Structure 1
Amino acid sequence: MRPKTQPRRRGLRITAWSLVTVLVMAAGLAGVVLWQNSYDLDEQRVTIRHGSHTLNAVLATPKDLRKPYGLVVYVHGDGPIDASHGDGYKPMWEANAKAGYASLSWDKPGVAGAPGNWLDQSMDDRADEAAAAIAWARARPDIDSDRIGLWGASQAGWVLPKIAAKTPVSFVIAVSPAINWLRQGRHHLLAELRADGASAARTKAAIAKSDTTRRLLARHAAFEEYVKATHGDTDGMTADRWGFISKNHTADATQDLRALRGIPVLLTLAGHDINVDTADTERVYRKVLAPGSALTVKHYPDGSHSMVDQSVEQSDVRITLTAIFSPRSLFVNGFLEDQRQFLKDLGRDGNGS
């Protein structure tokens, strides 16, 4: 019987070693994931009072740096976004920390258990919310009240200058900000149709539907009228979303941007932005903030609206694997470093000196 048992034992040893190898590789991959998703900063959950409301926030601070810190206050773009944007902000918070700045961000109302409903907000409501957060931060001994500024993306383009008009800020980082709500909507519609290779007939029909929506908004039509006018083809529009758009569709940052004159502004624009007309945004920022202002414009030709490398964003597999194994690499090359350098160059007094 010995000649028959030896091959079986060898097979068991091979299986055992194969299992060990798989387990070691799995442990190694888990270690890489944990390492790549660990950030050189400290986080604490904080609660901020805003009138009768509360903001559920996260304060991310540098490790082992002399206090008080400067502070970057985050203003979200559109959608139901939590404080860390699903951990997507953390590479930026780390870059801020390397420059000696803390980061403050909060769950939108109704998100992650926060009270309220973000779809009930106007852009002025959002600015009031951020001003309350800044007032809270100024009262903290670990925050340098002279070095508090704003970071905002996309829809935040309508909120950032409103905040600056309500309370002093030392700098602004504007990421893919829009200027005019209706112009942005039309730009986005046409860009998506081009990307889909839409026919002339489909494009004409989409524009006609968009024009109908605009007319309804202009006369403050109820959601039920919108449903009727579109014959039930609402593209996922809800009554709450219709109310949000009705409140905000006249938003235009052009005049509000005057509040940013003289303030260091970093404007970051992507080369593959189908949401925002970046040429229009840059033109208006340069015109309103005027030559010789403290405006710095950075272009990222390979970036998408979210400043993710477009080649990564186009692949579900690549974006998932990158988010898991190398989240800092999600952003287009130079994006994180440029923000870190911008903050570092502001100097201790926060105004570029």
Structure 2
Amino acid sequence: MFRKRRAPGRRRWRWAVWMLVGVLVVAAGVGGVVVWQNTYALREEKVSLRHDGKLLEGVLARPETGDGPFGLVVFVHGDGPVDATHETFYRPLWESFARAGYAALSFSKPGVGGSQGDWLDQSMADRAEETLAAVAWARSRPDIDGRRIGLWGASQAGWVLPKVAARDRNLQFVIAVSPAVNWLQQGRHNLLAELRRDGATAETRDAALRRRETTLDLLHRKASFAEYRAAAGGTGEDMTAARWSFIAKNYRSDATADLRSMRGTPVLLVLAGHDVNVDVADTEAVYRRLLPAASLKVAHYPGASHSLVDHDLERSQWRLTLTAVLAPRKLYASGFLEDQSRFVQQLNTGQGTV
């Protein structure tokens, strides 16, 4: 009696089915990891603020449990069209503050994420007024402790934070992440640092510095965008009229006077070891010269880039993408998130150290 042989097509079909099942199981596992890693111990509430005739849309992220009143960290963005969550980049920070009993408040910039207006129309003074309005709005809420409100800001916020703290002497603290002091000095440092990083020749560097001087001369003369384009030729194609107007409003920004005026407010200055945007040595020297030692704490992260992302991670696009999806808290330099939480916790115990 002969055994019936299975058709090869059926064997292939069953193999394909089991392969598909395996892929689905793996995908479900990865999907579960992604959901878990991107779930934060927060209660997020969409909020809005009307300021200067425009509606700003934002997020209030409170600790996962409790009725408050909570302390509050008001976020002040860096350059660019930043939404309230900074494309989710802020959420690990919000969670770190929530562990210390602090809520976080962040509004999308004008013209971004439902907020009205155009952020490129703003001066640094305009941004400071907007932040003061956000603080005043927060103080009106019963779930926020008005005595425990502080600011967190990065990069370009370095020209906004001191203005706000100089005006509102009741702020509990300021956390300044990779801030610059002088716009023009920062721009020159950034240009030279990027040229060094890219291995530019001396001739390329000198040509870039000459173009910079030409641009500064145009700004000093209040030249139009058309004049800039004519002078820049093909090298100015990435500049828009709106961006030129924004630079013209702000290129004289310098935080020195405002830093003097905010003396006594507890400050955590956060500096990265691989910062091509900001001259961190100069920033630290100025902050130490102008602010009392008792109110200033400086935290260095040698392995971090300007954004406080791990420098080695940032240099690998595939690793950066995978980390952002699978383990977003690991994007930041080691210890950074924990130190943010510890700083505000210790303010409430009178220690105030990092």
TM-score normalised according to structure 2 size? 0.96
Residue 339 of structure 1: aligned partner: 340
CA contact (8 A) 1:180 1:253 kept: yes
CA–CA separation in structure 2 for the residues paired with 1:56 and 1:177: 25
Q: How does 1:165-314 map to 2 (within 5 A)?
A: 165-167=166-168, 168-290=170-292, 292-314=293-315
Q: Could you list the per-position Cα deviations for residues 63-116 of structure 1 after superposition, in whole angstroms to 9, with x for gaps in the alignment? A: 113510000000000000000000000000000000000000011001123210
Task: Number of aligned residue pairs: give it.
Answer: 351
Residue 149 of structure 1: aligned partner: 150
Residue 59 of structure 2: aligned partner: 58
CA–CA separation in structure 1 for the residues paired with 2:29 and 2:261: 51
Q: Could you list the per-position Cα deviations for residues 104-133 of structure 1 after superposition, in whole angstroms to 9, with x for gaps in the alignment? A: 001100112321000000000000000001
What SS does the aligned partner of 1:230 have?
helix
What SS does the aligned partner of 1:286 have?
helix
CA contact (8 A) 2:58 2:84 kept: yes
Percentage of pairs with the same residue = 58
CA contact (8 A) 1:147 1:349 kept: no
Residue 15 of structure 1: aligned partner: 16
Equivalent residue letter for 2:262: L
Please say if 1:70 is aligned against 2:34: no
Change (3 A) 1:121 1:109: same
CA–CA separation in structure 1 for the residues paired with 2:190 and 2:57: 32
Residue 322 of structure 1: aligned partner: 323
CA–CA separation in structure 2 for the residues paired with 1:348 and 1:333: 24
What is the CA-CA distance between 1:272 and the residue it aligns to? 0.3
Q: Could you list the per-position Cα deviations for residues 286-324 of structure 1 after superposition, in whole angstroms to 9, with x for gaps in the alignment? A: 00003x321110100110000000111111111110000
CA contact (8 A) 2:219 2:248 kept: yes
What SS does the aligned partner of 1:293 have?
helix
Decide which moves more: 214-223 or 141-150: 214-223
CA contact (8 A) 2:83 2:108 kept: yes
What SS does the aligned partner of 1:72 have?
strand
CA contact (8 A) 2:274 2:302 kept: yes
CA contact (8 A) 2:73 2:105 kept: yes
Change (3 A) 1:351 1:130: farther
CA contact (8 A) 2:81 2:109 kept: yes
CA contact (8 A) 2:166 2:259 kept: no
What is the CA-CA distance between 1:219 and the residue it aligns to? 1.6
RMSD, aligned CA: 1.6
CA–CA separation in structure 2 for the residues paired with 1:2 and 1:227: 84
CA contact (8 A) 2:175 2:267 kept: yes
Q: Could you list the per-position Cα deviations for residues 179-216 of structure 1 after superposition, in whole angstroms to 9, with x for gaps in the alignment? A: 00000000000000001100111111000000111111
CA contact (8 A) 2:67 2:143 kept: no
What is the CA-CA distance between 1:54 and the residue it aligns to? 1.7
CA–CA separation in structure 2 for the residues paired with 1:186 and 1:14: 62
Q: Could you list the per-position Cα deviations for residues 267-302 of structure 1 after superposition, in whole angstroms to 9, with x for gaps in the alignment? A: 110000000000000000000003x32111010011
CA contact (8 A) 1:170 1:351 kept: no
CA contact (8 A) 2:41 2:64 kept: yes
Unaligned segments of structure 1, at least 5 residues: none
What is the CA-CA distance between 1:146 and the residue it aligns to? 0.1
TM-score normalised according to structure 1 size? 0.96
Residue 100 of structure 1: aligned partner: 101
Residue 34 of structure 2: aligned partner: 33
Equivalent residue letter for 2:222: H
Unaligned segments of structure 2, at least 5 residues: none
What SS does the aligned partner of 2:6 have?
helix
